């Protein structure tokens, strides 16, 4: 278990219909907690978003979650959070792309839905904690405070998308999968052993509210298409696109530039300018970033004072890199990389770690590119 509690807690287990959250709920119940399962209906029209067996929005997922709850032997409800999800996650996702940034909707969902709307309602209804199938570890300190740490298994660690949780949210979070060194196969085997039919269900990877995985199509439907230029660093037009919002910093594929670069090397998206609907491309070296600023910092515990040395993670499933970071005016985080890093996209989160401990998280606003090398 994430923590051994002297008293059984009233736990609300968020059950997506997938194997992880089902095993998490089962473990919480087995640990003696009074567990109630809840499936979040995140689409007002459940079939419209997704008809496959994966993701979080289908009638099938709701049924799978209900079946799992029945087998575990816990009450089960479906809560309609579609309106909140649309406002706080889907609309935010669209607006961020429209502004030329690259959002992380899973992180936003944890911040605004699972550990805000859901947690608040759970607490109001008398629950002590919300349990999810995330891979991360909550450590209870002697002074009663809590720390969020990476999962024991770094390969499955999801602390990046939980870095937005503050101490109050963490105090009511339970991640029963976080401290197990188990492969996904072992989680599936555990589900099988527990008689959970979701044991063999495929993983969900993509964005739950984009049915076919076609993010560009999803955005084009909502933002419309507007032809613009693709230019190189000197401003020379190389091609055109249907809308700057469809691109991500560091993107290489799908640029549809007719002729190759003079040096024959691949070109990457360096900059997205929604104002004049222009996408700038260039060589991979030009993606190197030496520093960034980030806004809306969220601290897990007290905000650090003065500059400090940390490791940072810049995208989900991304590696760690050494940084110094300082909070300026209490609201802007300035991060300097020891070695330049590539492909940093505004809109993504920068999560700071001290060892395995999550220190805090902020949304990347601007980046500083390395000055071009003198020829």
Cα–Cα distance between 241 and 218 in angstroms, integer?
16
Could you confirm whether 57 is annotated as catalytic?
A: no
CA neighbours closer than 13 Å in the CB half-sphere of residue 339: 5
Least Å from the CB of residue 41 to other proteins:
4
Which region among 80-88, 151-159, 183-191, 193-201 touches other proteins (by CB under 8 A)?
80-88
Among 6, 126, 144, 355, binds other proteins (CB under 8 A): 126
Least Å from the CB of residue 139 to other proteins:
30
Among 72, 117, 131, 270, binds other proteins (CB under 8 A): 117
34 vs 192, beta carbon nearer other proteins? 34
Our finding on whether 124 is near other proteins (CB under 8 A) is yes
CA distances from 223 to 22, 50, 87, 94, 246 (A): 36, 20, 16, 8, 10
Give the single-character DSSP code of 203. Answer: P
Our finding on whether 81 is near other proteins (CB under 8 A) is yes
Our finding on whether 303 is near other proteins (CB under 8 A) is no
Residue 88, phi then psi, degrees to nearest 5: -90, -25
21 vs 102, beta carbon nearer other proteins? 21
Please, which residues bridge with residue 46 across strands?
A: none
Which region among 76-84, 101-109, 195-203, 338-346 touches other proteins (by CB under 8 A)?
76-84
Our finding on whether 121 is near other proteins (CB under 8 A) is yes
Out of 56, 57, 106, 109, the active site residue is 109
Least Å from the CB of residue 125 to other proteins:
5
Please, which residues bridge with residue 272 across strands?
A: 279
Residues in 198-237 that interact with other proteins by CB under 8 A: none
CA distances from 171 to 119, 130, 147 (A): 11, 10, 9
Among 23, 29, 46, 300, binds other proteins (CB under 8 A): 46
Give the single-character DSSP code of 274. Answer: T
| β-pairing verdict for 228-231 and 173-174 | unpaired
Among 79, 152, 285, 324, binds other proteins (CB under 8 A): 79
Our finding on whether 67 is near other proteins (CB under 8 A) is no
Please, which residues bridge with residue 41 across strands?
A: 80
| Helix ranges (DSSP H) in the chain | 19-30, 46-49, 59-72, 82-85, 91-98, 105-109, 118-124, 167-171, 184-193, 215-223
**Dihedral through CA 234, CA 237, CA 241, CA 243, nearest 10?**
50
Least Å from the CB of residue 30 to other proteins:
20
> 3-state class of 223 per DSSP?
helix
Say how many residues touch other proteins, by CB under 8 A. 24
Among 75, 217, 266, 307, binds other proteins (CB under 8 A): 75
Contact between 35 and 25 (Cβ < 8 Å):
yes
Could you confirm whether 56 is annotated as catalytic?
A: no
78 vs 257, beta carbon nearer other proteins? 78
The token duo for 117 is: 């709307």
What is the biggest distance separating any 2 CA atoms in the chain, rounded to whole angstroms? 69
Show the site string, 318-337: x = touches other proteins by CB under 8 A, - = not: --------------------
39 vs 315, beta carbon nearer other proteins? 39
Least Å from the CB of residue 83 to other proteins:
8
Taking Cα atoms as reference points, which of 57, 75, 79, 58 lies closest to residue 66? 75
64 vs 96, beta carbon nearer other proteins? 64
Our finding on whether 58 is near other proteins (CB under 8 A) is yes
Residue 296, phi then psi, degrees to nearest 5: 50, 55
Contact between 281 and 240 (Cβ < 8 Å):
no
Our finding on whether 69 is near other proteins (CB under 8 A) is no
The token duo for 307 is: 């500059």
By the criterion CB under 8 A, which residues form the site for other proteins? 36, 39, 41, 46, 58-59, 62-63, 66, 75, 77-84, 117, 120-121, 124-126
Catalytic residues: 109, 208
């Amino acid at each position: 278990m994430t923590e051994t509690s002297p008293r059984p807690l009233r736990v609300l287990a968020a059950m997506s219909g997938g194997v992880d959250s089902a095993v998490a709920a089962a473990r919480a119940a087995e640990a003696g907690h009074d567990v109630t399962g809840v499936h979040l209906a995140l689409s007002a029209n459940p079939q419209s978003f997704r008809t496959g067996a994966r993701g979080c929005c289908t009638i099938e997922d709701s049924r799978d979650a209900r079946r799992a709850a029945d087998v575990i032997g816990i009450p089960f409800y479906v809560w309609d959070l579609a309106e909140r999800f649309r406002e706080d996650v889907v609309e935010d996702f669209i607006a961020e792309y429209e502004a030329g940034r690259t959002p992380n909707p899973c992180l936003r969902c944890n911040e605004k839905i699972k550990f805000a709307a859901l947690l608040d309602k759970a607490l109001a209804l008398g629950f002590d904690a919300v349990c999810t199938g995330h891979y991360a570890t909550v450590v209870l300190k002697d002074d009663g405070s809590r720390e969020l740490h990476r999962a024991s298994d770094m390969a499955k660690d999801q602390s990046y998308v939980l870095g937005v949780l503050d101490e109050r949210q963490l105090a009511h979070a339970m991640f029963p999968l976080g401290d197990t060194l188990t492969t996904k196969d072992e989680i599936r085997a555990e589900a099988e052993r527990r008689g959970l039919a979701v044991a063999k269900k495929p993983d969900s990877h993509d964005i739950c509210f984009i049915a076919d995985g076609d993010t560009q199509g999803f955005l084009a439907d909502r933002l419309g298409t507007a032809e613009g230029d693709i230019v190189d660093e000197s401003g020379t037009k190389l091609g055109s696109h249907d809308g700057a919002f469809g691109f991500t910093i560091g993107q290489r594929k799908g640029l549809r530039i007719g002729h190759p670069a003079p040096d024959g090397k691949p070109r990457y998206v360096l900059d997205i300018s929604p104002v004049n609907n222009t996408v700038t491309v260039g060589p991979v070296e030009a993606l190197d970033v030496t520093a960034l600023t980030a806004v809306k910092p969220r601290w897990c515990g007290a905000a650090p004072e003065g500059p400090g040395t940390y490791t940072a993670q810049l995208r989900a499933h991304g590696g760690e890199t050494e940084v110094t970071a300082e909070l300026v005016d209490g609201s802007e985080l300035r991060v300097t990389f020891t070695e330049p890093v590539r492909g940093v996209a505004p809109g993504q989160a920068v999560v700071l770690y001290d060892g395995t401990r999550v220190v805090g998280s902020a949304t990347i606003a601007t980046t500083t590119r390395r000055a071009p090398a003198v020829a």
